Amino acid sequence: MAERGLSVRVQQQAPIPLDVEFTCDPGDVLAIFGASGSGKTTILRSIAGLYRPAHASIRAGGHTWSNTAAGTFAPPHRRAVGVVFQEYALFPHLTAIGNVMTALGHRPSSERRSRAEKLLTLVHLSDHQDRRPQQLSGGERQRVALARALAREPAVLLLDEPFAAVDRTVRRRLQDEIDELRRTLDIPLVLITHDFDDVVRLATRLLILEKGKAIACGALADLTSRTDLPWLRDAVGLGSVFEARVVARDRQRGLLELAFEGGSLFAADRALEAGATVRLRIAARDVILATSEPQGLSLHNALPATVSAIAGDGGGDHVIVQLVVGGVRLLAEVTRDAITRLGLGVGAHVYALIKSVSIDVAGAEIS
């Protein structure tokens, strides 16, 4: 872990069972993903100093915030942490700029207003700085909350279900803005969510939580391409997530050309700029396998691949096949009969067939 990174270990049996250990480096976004009641928010509150688990070791920005073995506990106001809550937690009687200035007490009074103005500009709210929360939309209030969290100049930024109170359109816009912002912040970000769309759009690392216990933790692309995570399969459906770059947009054909570590793909057209970095998610059920390159089909994507693993689904009729395509791993969900008919085994060379309309592309659209 980098010295300015975040290191967390929390354990207890009751009242909320917890058994979690993870790290997050500056520039990374660790998504803690799990069902309601799995302990996600309790972990976040432990990092912020709002909850004291029975056993904890929490270190951030080169400082120890909690160490129960040594009797160390820094209260919330002594932790350089910014928190964005799902319910915003803004002061209703203050303007947007007033809310941000409340988090700037560590700065000289002469600097606070100008700093607050810069932060509101950063979250695209410079025109609304004199409005009170009731005069702002849900998305705008969340931006104020984000600016206020950044005002503390945090060593760690914590996002607790930050999009839960906004509709899908606003959610996507906020996701784009936070993704743009996190690329400029050299601090760890921890995202608490139960919506896998948030994970796909923002996370670089993923921790899967069930009943307070970490089931798996690692790089997003690695975890989403594993065959041995039935919890993830049952919760959201298996599907690989990886980054790609927009090569070109062909409006006439209705296609985006995308380059990734394994070659190139064509997806359905979106208003994305050439050169933009995007996230792709390809569901395992949308990948068809062939032992030879097909001809005369309507699909645009036939990727040469090698079978790297085959796993059953606990005795059912479906099988998960892990494929290596260049530097990327894909998953395909097929029947046992298909494995037998194609004679597939580890090391077999196949083609992964993917329809353009089956590729989910997440990225900031051209306004």
pLDDT at 210 over 80: yes
Give the separation between CA 245 and CA 236, rounded to whole angstroms: 25
Mean pLDDT of 180-201: 90
Mean pLDDT of 281-289: 96
* Mean pLDDT value across the chain: 92
Reported as type and span, the H/E element at residue 325 is strand 318-325
Global pTM? 0.89
List pLDDT tens digits, range 240-262. 999 999 999 999 999 999 999 98
Give the separation between CA 317 and CA 240, rounded to whole angstroms: 21
Instruction: Using DSSP bridges, classify how beta strands 287-290 and 349-354 pair: parallel, antiparallel or unpaired.
Output: antiparallel
Q: What is the pLDDT of residue 150?
A: 94
Domains of the chain: 6-229 (3.40.50.300), 240-362 (2.40.50.100)
Instruction: Using DSSP bridges, classify how beta strands 205-210 and 189-193 pair: parallel, antiparallel or unpaired.
Output: unpaired
Measured between alpha carbons, how far is residue 5 from residues 27, 66, 69, 324 in Å? 9, 15, 21, 31
Q: How confident is the model at residue 207 (pLDDT cuts 50, 70, 90)?
A: very high
Mean pLDDT of 276-302: 92
Q: How confident is the model at residue 89 (pLDDT cuts 50, 70, 90)?
A: confident
Amino acid symbol at 230: P
Q: How confident is the model at residue 2 (pLDDT cuts 50, 70, 90)?
A: low
For 55-67, the three-class secondary structure string (H helix, E strand, C coil) is EEEEEECCEEEEE
Smallest CA-to-CA distance from 185 within 367, 24, 366 is with 24
pLDDT at 172 over 90: no
Mean pLDDT of 100-112: 93
What share of the chain has pLDDT > 70, as a percent?
98
Q: What is the pLDDT of residue 336?
A: 92
Mean pLDDT of 344-358: 96
Q: What is the pLDDT of residue 347?
A: 96
List pLDDT tens digits, range 113-131. 999 999 999 998 999 999 9
Give the separation between CA 176 and CA 96, rounded to whole angstroms: 21
Q: What is the pLDDT of residue 81?
A: 95
Q: How confident is the model at residue 236 (pLDDT cuts 50, 70, 90)?
A: confident
pLDDT at 169 over 90: no
pLDDT at 281 over 60: yes
8 Å CB contact between 180 and 364: yes
List pLDDT tens digits, range 294-332. 888 888 899 999 999 999 755 568 899 999 999 899 999
Question: b or e along 307-322 (b: 16 or more beta carbons within 10 Å of the residue's beta carbon)?
Answer: bbbbeeeeeeeebbbb
